[in-house]
């Protein structure tokens, strides 16, 4: 399970829209006796807090009512023992995210990797978990008119002339 987010550790992304915090009871005895394991996968930056009065115009942190950071905003739940071959087919897995905007079009790379890794983990294909390749980017090279003229001269005159000289040297060496 640690593989789902292990290679993404230290990466950051932005969660657009409303995000609620999750109460992840890692190591809770009552869950462990029922064979349930909970693990926090995504945590908000410690500077963020869980605002309980979100209708106010200027939210401020209140020690008495608000939840201090770091807050869990993504978790995994496993029921059963996936490490035991006898019970591996009776294991249930679930990944919970506290926002619906996580899957909106225009995902960031870290979000895509998390969704891909989560899917591989849920399907039992842990060997495919990892960070994907970077996407192709279009880059623009801004040149002034003199630089464009110089590049044209190189492409039209100097490169063909250089190839002609190399050809003449090869022809001359073979002729001799």
Is the model's pLDDT at 156 over the cut of 90? yes
Task: Provide mean pLDDT across the span 138-162.
Answer: 91
Count of the separate structural domains present in the chain: 2
Is the model's pLDDT at 165 over the cut of 90? yes
Q: Tell me how many degrees the CA angle 92-109-16 measures, rounded to the nearest 5.
A: 80
Of 32-41, 100-109, 112-121, 152-161, where does mean pLDDT reach its minimum? 100-109
| Domain membership flag for residue 134 | no
Confidence of residue 19 (pLDDT cuts 50, 70, 90): confident
Is the model's pLDDT at 141 over the cut of 80? yes
* Percent with pLDDT over 70 in the chain: 81
How many Å apart are CA 103 and CA 155, to the nearest integer?
Answer: 47
CB 103 within 8 A of CB 114: no
Are 124 and 161 in a shared domain?
no
| pTM tops 0.75, yes or no | no
Are 111 and 176 in a shared domain?
no
How many Å apart are CA 162 and CA 134, to the nearest integer?
Answer: 37
Q: What is the average pLDDT value for the chain, to the nearest integer?
A: 80
Are 90 and 171 in a shared domain?
no
| Domain membership flag for residue 108 | yes
Q: Which helix (H) or strand (E) covers residue 42, if one does?
A: strand 36-43
Is the model's pLDDT at 166 over the cut of 90? yes
Are 33 and 91 in a shared domain?
yes
Are 97 and 157 in a shared domain?
no
Which segment, 10-14, 41-45, 74-78, 86-90, is predicted with the most confidence on average? 74-78
| Domain membership flag for residue 26 | yes
Residue with the larger pLDDT of the pair 125 and 165: 165
The residue range of the domain holding 46 is 3-128
Question: Where among 128, 150, 165 does a domain terminate?
Answer: 128
Are 75 and 159 in a shared domain?
no
- Name, in order, each residue with C-beta under 8 angstroms of 59's C-beta and a sequence gap of 6 or more: 51, 53
Are 102 and 175 in a shared domain?
no
Are 35 and 78 in a shared domain?
yes
Are 77 and 100 in a shared domain?
yes
- Name, in order, each residue with C-beta under 8 angstroms of 112's C-beta and a sequence gap of 6 or more: 132
| Domain membership flag for residue 173 | yes
Task: Provide mean pLDDT across the span 34-56.
Answer: 81
Task: Provide mean pLDDT across the span 24-46.
Answer: 84
Is the model's pLDDT at 127 over the cut of 80? no
Give pLDDT, residue 147.
Answer: 92
| Domain membership flag for residue 30 | yes
Are 28 and 112 in a shared domain?
yes
């Amino acid at each position: 399970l640690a593989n789902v987010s292990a290679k993404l550790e230290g990466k950051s992304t932005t969660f657009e829209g409303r995000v609620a915090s999750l109460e992840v009871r890692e190591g809770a005895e009552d869950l462990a006796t029922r064979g349930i394991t909970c693990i926090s996968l995504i945590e908000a930056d410690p500077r963020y807090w869980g605002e309980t009065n979100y209708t106010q115009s200027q939210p401020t942190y209140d020690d008495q009512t608000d939840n201090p950071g770091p807050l869990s905003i993504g978790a995994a739940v496993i029921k059963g023992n996936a490490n035991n071959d006898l019970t591996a087919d009776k294991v249930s897995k679930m990944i919970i995210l506290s926002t619906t905007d996580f899957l909106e079009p225009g995902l960031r790379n870290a979000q895509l990797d998390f969704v891909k890794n989560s899917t591989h983990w849920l399907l039992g294909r842990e060997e495919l978990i990892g960070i994907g390749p970077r996407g192709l980017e279009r880059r623009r090279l801004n040149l002034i008119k003199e630089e464009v003229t110089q590049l044209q001269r190189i492409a039209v005159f100097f490169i063909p002339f250089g190839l002609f000289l190399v050809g003449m040297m090869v022809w001359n060496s073979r002729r001799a």
